[in-house]
Amino acid sequence: MSAAEGPLVVGVDSSTQSTKALVVDAGTGEIVASGQAPHTVSSGAGRESDPRQWWDALHEALRLCGEPAREAAAVSIGGQQHGLVTLDGNGEPVRPALLWNDVRSAPQARRLTEELGGAKFWAERTGSVPAASFTVTKWAWLAENEPEALRATKAVRLPHDYLTERLTGEGTTDRGDASGTGWWASATEGYDEEILARVGLDPALLPRVVRPGEIAGTVRDSHDLPFAKGTLVAAGTGDNAAAALGLGLRPGTPVLSLGTSGTVYAVSKHRPADATGTVAGFADAHGDWLPLACTLNCTLAVDRLAALLGLDREAVEPTAGLTLLPYLDGERTPNLPNASGLLHGLRHDTTAGQLLQAAYDGAVHSLLGALDLVLDKDADPSAPLLLIGGGARGTAWQQTVRRLSGRPVQIPEAKELVALGAAAQAAGLLTGEDPAAVARRWNTARGPVLDAVERDDATLTRIAGVLSDAAPLLERSTHTG
């Protein structure tokens, strides 16, 4: 390993299923050390995790980084969005966190939308229409189903807030993650008192929103991590905003992220307000906006289909008119929280490989359908799609995105973009730079570009037709547990 050119910083990605930590040279962007540790998510009707597992996983990930982590001058936490963390007066979890992919609050999302001005009100006020993933709906669900937990709650945090607070001892968040709660007003960039009053949430329970470039605090005495007391702690942010920083995104560049969930987003100078609810009008982590569409079923759903069929995930064959909507956990885009998977067009000569390709097509169709709504009208329609996330390395994912988008596809070589974005945020505290400019200096988006191919409009039209015809069936709940 060459000697570091600049100070070392730590970027963390606390995702749904694991926590990753990178020690990065702030001068060059070189990853000096890395570590990763898993945590668990409950199964069944809900999706929950004990926040203390995230802290333990952070401890283990940093231990695996070794001595370089002890030399870090600044640290930042990127984390899964939307999760509801409820803490008692001692800062301990009242109950497991309700995660972004817990869709039990779908009835509360519908009711809140109707009772407080309708979709247009919410879009104009918060930038987004409430969906079951949003934190405000989870708080409303908790109030109805576990009032004793509500009464015991003395602080409400998001996942990255929880970890940052354990580092600094101060309750903070940032505009990027706060914009995914449903109780942060994008027009005023502050907590919305009317919405908070409607759901019975005292604003005193919420963290202070740290501005871009502002220090959230310093590492306190009482912790068991390898950081020195006084190490700078950045605001941190939600995972998508962190990945946007990690890519050094400029406005208008589209990103398609293939992970447990799938997302399409782009940085914009314009505050979004989509009353259809397809696009969430998130803020980014450095003063602009990050309109985003998200699906619940992406790589995990396709891998589940591959496992059911006994196939390698790359063993696809042309679909020959088969349509599979892989809505295994309900779906957010389109907004069908009660849906299950649906197969249409099965015949005697259908092969397992065709079924698997149909699952890829169904997953990508949902994301590409929102792409035009995410991008500003003046965005270049021929600009490459940046393909990121765990699925971006898969040939079947790459070719499906190429075929259904008709655009060139660029695959950044950098893998841990959320952690790199957090590291760029930490580096910005030390250098005074915009974190996105730090990432561009690190050249994190570097990677091969796959040329555009003719768009497969026939498949897109077929999937859209099946989705439309099956809408009443997909809206029914089939859950019996």
* 334 upstream amide cis, omega within 30 of 0: yes
Output the six-digit token pair for 318.
């042309």
- What's the per-residue H, E or C state across 414-454? CCCHHHHHHHHHHHHHHHCCCHHHHHHHHCCCCCCEECCCC
Axis crossing angle, helix 435-442 with helix 239-247, rounded to the nearest 10: 50
Q: 480 in helix, strand or coil?
A: coil
Q: 138 in helix, strand or coil?
A: helix
Catalytic hit among 161, 239, 274, 288: 239
27/371 Cα distance (integer angstroms)? 35
Rg of the chain on CA atoms, in Å: 21
Give the other-Cβ count within 10 Å of 383's Cβ. 15
Q: How far is CA 126 from the centre of its chain?
A: 18
245/237 Cα distance (integer angstroms)? 10
Instruction: Clarify whether 239 is annotated catalytic.
Output: yes
Q: Which residues contact 227 (CB under 8 A, 6 or more apart)?
A: 10, 69, 70, 72, 75, 167, 219
Distances (CA, A) of 480 to 44, 86, 297, 395: 10, 28, 20, 36
18/372 Cα distance (integer angstroms)? 32
Going 348 to 352 to 357 to 362, the CA torsion angle's sign is: positive
Q: Which residues contact 276 (CB under 8 A, 6 or more apart)?
A: 119, 129, 373
Catalytic (active-site) positions: 239
